[in-house]
Structure 1
Amino acid sequence: MTILIDDPMWPNHGTLWSHLVSDESLDELHSFAAENEIPRRGFDLDHYDVPARVYQSLIAAGATPVSPKTLTRRLIASGLRITERERRLARASSHTLTAR
């Protein structure tokens, strides 16, 4: 099991955020997130956005801290990476479904 987390450096909603990923499977990622009370609404197709306040507790729970570049490389190598084009298409189709 390898869960990776990058440094909290992404600003939004008045705090900094990290990305939490698995380089193994989405099931592994969702299990780790659920065990650590990370809400499913934080999932963004291939990663969870997690606030800086939980960074240390996620490392204590087993997440491996890595640089953003390493996190991205490992996610791509795993085959789990969602491209920006795929992300836009997924968002467009979810908006279509909710508009009905």
Structure 2
Amino acid sequence: MTVLIDEPIWPAHGTVWAHLVSDVSLAELHAFARRAGIPERGFDHDHYDVPLARCAEMVALGAQPVTGRELLRRLQLSGLRVTQAEKKRLRGQRTP
């Protein structure tokens, strides 16, 4: 199991946020998030957003801390990366 977490540097909602990803599969990522009690609304196409206050907990549960650059590299190599353009396209699609 390889779940990765980067540095919490993304500001929003009065805190900073990290990204939690898997470089193996989305199923692995979702299973980790469920076990950690991360709400589904925290998922953004290829990662979960994790507030600073919960980052140490994610590491204690087994997430591997990496730099943002390393996280992106490994996510891209896994084929799980969803680009900003793809996210915009997906948000524009309506489901019946």
Deviations 1:10-44 (A, max 9, x none): 00011000000000000000000000000000000
Structure 1 residue 9, shift from structure 2 partner: 0.6
The structure that has the greater radius of gyration is 1
Structure 2 residue 89 is matched with structure 1 residue 89: yes
Q: Which residue of 1 aligns with 2:63?
A: 63
Deviations 1:23-78 (A, max 9, x none): 00000000000000000000000000010100000000000000000000000000
More helix by share: 1
Number of equivalenced pairs? 96
Identity across the alignment (%): 54
Q: Which residue of 1 aligns with 2:23?
A: 23
Distance 2:23 2:12 in 1: 25
TM-score (norm 2): 0.97
Unmatched 5+ stretches in structure 1: none
3-state SS, counterpart of residue 86 of structure 1: helix
